[in-house]
């Protein structure tokens, strides 16, 4: 039998094959960010930063039949520069770069029609600096479609009371949060699973912990105007969802809970899930069992994942669509419609969604 990636044209109907994707998990490496990486160690979780440019990004969209892409940083983002003025300046420089290259001073005119961005924020432990950058993004620049947020900052998960004012500010603006894994709190190389770098094993659990935390602490219940996208199909959340719900059946646990079972169900149902690195039948079936298909989005994770690997993952997804009885629920047309609805709701001055 031919390799799966050679069967894409055979395994997908014509309508699916011709559907233009919206890539919501598309990373950028602005020069100012690469300079910061090089000043602070030169690697991200053991991997050197890949080559990147706006033109290469547009070529990637063409290669993957994507009409739109939304740029964001992979981890660690501005926190690589600490929690002070340097990280604040780095976040601002990155966001101004995004704004110029996608809207105000584009070096390639196609970028204005095809690229948006999820803005960078300082380390959330710098609460005032983070709030100041959110205000800049929503009161002054008004170009970002959302903000990229790490799953934790140091050992602090996102539902920590320290971050309450940040959530309140995001809620004020009705922000879209693109949640990207940043490793497990307290677990850093070389103390990782089997010596494997965090993106391989730890990142899915980091996403799960962060998502569970903002549900169980009542953060999502308090801030109903915020939409949250979870990377990589929610990590292990679809697998563990029923287990999380069941914890309130333990009386000694329930008495300390900030939420009820219905509130947990409502919180878990609010998450959007991108398909980056998450297209196996087990992952797609688990996600279909876990949440409504209106919450599914496409994401490639380029350029931190090889083009060949992404080709395989897309072919795997298309094969599921064409052969699985529930494939219609994850069809490319469904994900495109979901992306349009979500991102149109969060547009500011930059109107990309047609």
**Max CA separation in the chain (angstroms):** 60
User: CA-CA distance, 50 to 24, in Å (whole number)?
Assistant: 19
Q: Does 318 have pLDDT greater than 80? A: yes
Provide the pLDDT confidence category of residue 92 given band limits of 50, 70 and 90: very high
Neighbours of 253 (CB within 10 A): 11
Rounded average pLDDT over 109-122: 97
Q: 68 Cβ partners below 8 Å, 6+ apart? A: 20, 22, 23, 61, 114, 115, 116, 339, 343, 352, 353
According to the model, what pLDDT value does residue 193 have?
A: 54
Q: Which residues of 26-58 are buried (b: 16+ CB within 10 A; e: fewer)?
A: bbbbbeebbebbeeeeeebbeeebbebbbeebb
User: CA-CA distance, 101 to 112, in Å (whole number)?
Assistant: 8
Q: Does 192 have pLDDT greater than 80? A: no
Q: Does 84 have pLDDT greater than 80? A: yes
According to the model, what pLDDT value does residue 8 have?
A: 44
Tokens found for residue 320: 């599921």
Q: Does 152 have pLDDT greater than 60? A: yes
According to the model, what pLDDT value does residue 41 have?
A: 82
According to the model, what pLDDT value does residue 257 have?
A: 77
Distances from the Cα of 305 to the Cα of 25, 79, 317, angstroms: 11, 22, 16
Average pLDDT, the chain: 90
Identify the residue with better confidence: 16 or 258: 258
Provide the pLDDT confidence category of residue 4 given band limits of 50, 70 and 90: very low
Is the four-CA dihedral 125, 170, 217, 230 of positive or negative sign? negative
User: CA-CA distance, 81 to 94, in Å (whole number)?
Assistant: 13
Neighbours of 335 (CB within 10 A): 22
Is the four-CA dihedral 151, 85, 32, 43 of positive or negative sign? negative
Residue pLDDT, tens place only, 274-295: 999 999 999 999 999 999 999 9
According to DSSP, the residues that pair with 26 across neighbouring strands are: 71
Tokens found for residue 234: 């929610």
CATH node for 4-344:
3.20.20.140
Provide the pLDDT confidence category of residue 10 given band limits of 50, 70 and 90: very low
According to the model, what pLDDT value does residue 14 have?
A: 43
User: CA-CA distance, 308 to 305, in Å (whole number)?
Assistant: 8
Residue pLDDT, tens place only, 25-70: 999 999 999 999 999 886 766 678 899 999 999 999 999 999 999 9
Which one-letter DSSP state was computed for residue 104? Answer: I
Would you say 51 and 28 are in contact if contact means Cβ atoms under 8 Å apart?
A: no
Q: Does 88 have pLDDT greater than 50? A: yes
Q: Give the residue extent of every domain in the chain.
A: 4-344
Residue pLDDT, tens place only, 230-259: 999 999 999 998 888 888 788 887 777 788
Q: Does 9 have pLDDT greater than 90? A: no
According to DSSP, the residues that pair with 297 across neighbouring strands are: 274
- For 131, list phi and psi in degrees, rounded to 5: -65, -40
Residue 52: closest CA among 136, 115, 104, 112: 115
């Amino acid at each position: 039998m031919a390799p799966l990636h050679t069967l894409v044209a055979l395994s997908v109907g014509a309508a699916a094959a011709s559907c233009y994707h919206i890539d919501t998990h598309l990373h950028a490496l602005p020069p100012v960010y690469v300079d910061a990486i090089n000043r602070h160690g030169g690697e991200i979780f053991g991997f050197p930063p890949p080559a990147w440019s706006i033109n290469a990004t547009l070529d990637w969209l063409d290669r993957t039949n994507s009409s739109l892409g939304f740029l964001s940083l992979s981890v660690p983002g501005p926190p690589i520069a600490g929690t002070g003025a340097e990280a604040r300046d780095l976040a601002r420089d990155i966001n101004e770069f995004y704004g110029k290259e996608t809207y105000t001073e584009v070096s390639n005119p196609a970028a204005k029609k095809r690229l948006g961005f999820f803005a960078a924020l300082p380390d959330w432990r710098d609460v005032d600096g983070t709030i100041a950058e959110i205000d800049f993004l929503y009161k002054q620049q008004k170009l970002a479609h959302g903000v990229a947020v790490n799953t934790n900052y140091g050992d602090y998960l996102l539902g920590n009371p320290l971050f309450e004012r940040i959530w309140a500010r995001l809620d004020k603006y009705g922000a879209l949060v693109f949640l990207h894994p940043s490793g497990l709190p307290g677990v850093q190389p070389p103390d990782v699973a089997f010596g494997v770098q965090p993106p391989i094993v730890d990142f899915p659990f980091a996403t799960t912990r962060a998502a569970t935390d903002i549900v169980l602490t009542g953060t999502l219940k308090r801030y109903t105007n915020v939409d949250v996208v979870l990377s990589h199909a929610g990590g292990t959340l679809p697998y563990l969802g029923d287990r999380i719900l069941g914890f309130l059946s333990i009386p000694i646990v329930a008495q300390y809970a900030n939420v009820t079972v219905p509130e947990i169900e409502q919180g878990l149902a609010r998450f959007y899930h991108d398909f980056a690195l998450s297209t196996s039948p087990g992952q797609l079936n688990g996600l279909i069992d876990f949440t409504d298909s209106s919450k599914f989005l496409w994401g490639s994770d380029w350029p931190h994942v090889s083009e060949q690997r992404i080709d395989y993952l897309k072919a795997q997804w298309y094969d599921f669509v064409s052969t699985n009885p529930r494939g219609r629920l994850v069809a490319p047309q469904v994900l495109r419609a979901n992306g349009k609805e979500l991102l149109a709701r969060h547009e500011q001055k930059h109107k990309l969604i047609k």
